Amino acid sequence: MSELELKPAAGRDRKMTEMAAAFGISPAVWAIGEKTEQRLKDRFAKIQETAEYNQYKVLRAMQECRVSAECFSSGTGYGYNDPGRDTLEEVYAHIFHTEAALVRAQITCGTHALAVALFGNLRPGDELLSISGKPYDTLEEVIGIRPSRGSLAEYGVSYRQVDLLEDGSFDFEKIRSAVTAKTKMVEIQRSKGYQTRPSLSVAKIAQAIAFVKSIREDILVLVDNCYGEFVEWEEPSDYGADIVVGSLIKNPGGGLAPVGGYIAGTRECIENAACRLTTPGLGREVGASLGVNRSFFQGIFLAPTVTASALKGAIFAANIYERLGFSVVPNAQEERHDIIQAVEFGTPEGLIAFCEGIQAAAPVDSYVRPEPWAMPGYDSDVIMAAGAFIQGSSIELSADGPLKPPYAAYFQGGLTWEHAKLGILKSLQSLVDKGLVKPEEL
């Protein structure tokens, strides 16, 4: 037997608390983490099951599409005949069970992907109907809810919205009466984003899709899938969504994609989107991959397990902070439909201390102290913690929040569970050090 195997558990515990101490985490705070992790064993096992299923789904797609070493070569210039890019798009279509997909470095972010899908598929005189209430902030200017240069409204596309009911479910009655002859597309946002409503399960979205299609079959359904990919066993496109859209610096990029977005859907919808992303006539044929193919492939390959890590981190944080008496959304027990966790601190000091802790646990820029600042487009100062390999990546451990009541930190990501755990414990330590919580309260 090796020496390692003979070592008693106490030896491992000591080594761990010593390691935690090197990060400035006290034995008491570390112990809270251990206890919490122990309590969450069954839930973590379930998340692991989802990750396993999704890992095989991705792997199978790669095999079916015959991904080869040639796919990692880099295209330049026009980017005609880029086998890597075309195969990658086929892989996405297999994963999402759609006819086609557009997965490009030229899609600059999630908002851009959504805008391309909307502009590509809507024409003057059409109406867009959101049935999950107010869409994500950045879409307000895309749609023209807030007057904006180049919005859909400027092109004669009108917009209507049906809010979710109090309990977060779809308002089917109102949806039925909001659909008119003009309604060309219905939009559903899976994740709550930075709102307080619950995120939508794939099952609920499936119901809504079926309902919309029962009113009129030719209404297109677009799902903003940001932060939701691989959280469940299935995706909205498994239930008839015509288009699903997301960002590659969130879940499906697996932390490796340096930029990009995806749009997956029916052949017709994807061709329409491609003609908007590039030009009519050129469509999907152009768009050099510029050396990102390998990270896109490797990123989607890792995405199911990376998403699982982030999910464990979110649940871990909810459990720790809820026990300390803070309001957390979703709560400690709730089933998850995305990777975002909100914790309401009630005071600016709490929010700042939390973000400082997350930053201090980062692999990059850990020595930087985040400061609240007047970010453009916000009506209060905002604090952000991110020590990421990819700038702005929110599948990496990150947190931010506006400095106004209820002083909520929105927290997400974690490329590995181990790092997410350490980051959350470091945030707790930061609150303890400032006297904002006492570890014996747990």
CB of 224 to ligand PLP, least distance (A): 5
From the list 8-16, 81-89, 105-113, 297-305, the region that binds ligand PLP by CB under 6 A is 105-113
Q: Is 130 in the site for ligand PLP (CB under 6 A)?
A: no
Nearer to ligand PLP, 330 or 350 (CB): 330
Provide the β-strand partners of residue 254.
Answer: none
What share of residues in the chain are helix, strand, coil (percent, to 5)? 45, 15, 40
Q: Is 183 in the site for ligand PLP (CB under 6 A)?
A: no
SS3 category, 27: helix
Q: Is 326 in the site for ligand PLP (CB under 6 A)?
A: no
Q: Is 111 in the site for ligand PLP (CB under 6 A)?
A: yes
From the list 109-117, 202-210, 264-272, 383-391, the region that binds ligand PLP by CB under 6 A is 109-117
Binding mask 58-97 for ligand PLP (x = CB under 6 A): ----------------------------------------
From the list 9-17, 149-157, 222-230, 265-273, the region that binds ligand PLP by CB under 6 A is 222-230
- Residue environment code for 332-346, b if the CB has 16+ CB neighbours within 10 A, otherwise e: beeebbbbbbbbbbe
Instruction: Determine the Cα–Cα distance for residues 86 and 92; give it in Å rounded to an integer.
Output: 10
Binding mask 22-51 for ligand PLP (x = CB under 6 A): ------------------------------
Helices marked H in 40-149: 41-64, 83-96, 110-121, 139-143
Residue 96 identity: F
SS3 category, 350: helix
Nearer to ligand PLP, 80 or 378 (CB): 378
Q: Is 189 in the site for ligand PLP (CB under 6 A)?
A: yes
> What is the Cα Rg of the chain in Å?
22
Q: How far is CA 97 from the centre of its chain?
A: 20
Closest-CA residue to 152 (of 140, 164, 137, 161): 140
CB of 167 to ligand PLP, least distance (A): 20
Q: Is 191 in the site for ligand PLP (CB under 6 A)?
A: yes
Nearer to ligand PLP, 30 or 136 (CB): 136
Nearer to ligand PLP, 117 or 178 (CB): 117
Instruction: Determine the Cα–Cα distance for residues 250 and 81; give it in Å rounded to an integer.
Output: 28
CB of 385 to ligand PLP, least distance (A): 17
CB of 257 to ligand PLP, least distance (A): 12
Closest-CA residue to 97 (of 300, 241, 305, 271): 241
Q: Is 423 in the site for ligand PLP (CB under 6 A)?
A: no
Instruction: Determine the Cα–Cα distance for residues 58 and 60; give it in Å rounded to an integer.
Output: 5
Instruction: Candidates 54, 87, 121, 247: give the one binding ligand PLP (CB under 6 A).
Output: 247
Q: Is 330 in the site for ligand PLP (CB under 6 A)?
A: no
Strands 341-344 and 408-412 turn out to be: antiparallel
What single string gives the DSSP state of each residue in 109-125? Answer: SHHHHHHHHHHHH--TT
Q: Is 195 in the site for ligand PLP (CB under 6 A)?
A: no
CB of 310 to ligand PLP, least distance (A): 13
Instruction: Determine the Cα–Cα distance for residues 18 and 12; give it in Å rounded to an integer.
Output: 10
Q: Is 193 in the site for ligand PLP (CB under 6 A)?
A: yes
Total residues contacting ligand PLP by CB under 6 A comes to: 12
Are the beta carbons of 77 and 288 closer than 8 angstroms?
A: yes
Instruction: Candidates 33, 110, 304, 370: give the one binding ligand PLP (CB under 6 A).
Output: 110
Q: Is 226 in the site for ligand PLP (CB under 6 A)?
A: yes
Binding to ligand PLP (CB under 6 A): which residues in 376-415?
none
Residue 283 identity: G
Instruction: Candidates 224, 344, 396, 400: give the one binding ligand PLP (CB under 6 A).
Output: 224
Closest-CA residue to 242 (of 194, 186, 309, 306): 186
CB of 227 to ligand PLP, least distance (A): 5
Q: Which helix (H) or strand (E) holds 269?
A: helix 267-277
Nearer to ligand PLP, 26 or 138 (CB): 138
Q: Is 138 in the site for ligand PLP (CB under 6 A)?
A: yes
Instruction: Determine the Cα–Cα distance for residues 21 and 41; give it in Å rounded to an integer.
Output: 25
Nearer to ligand PLP, 107 or 274 (CB): 107
Measured from each CB, the residue nearest to ligand PLP is: 110
CB of 114 to ligand PLP, least distance (A): 6
16-24, long-range: CB within 8 Å, 24+ apart, which pairs? 20/425, 23/360, 23/361, 23/422, 23/426, 24/360, 24/426, 24/429
Residues that bind ligand PLP (CB under 6 A): 109-111, 136, 138, 189, 191, 193, 224, 226-227, 247
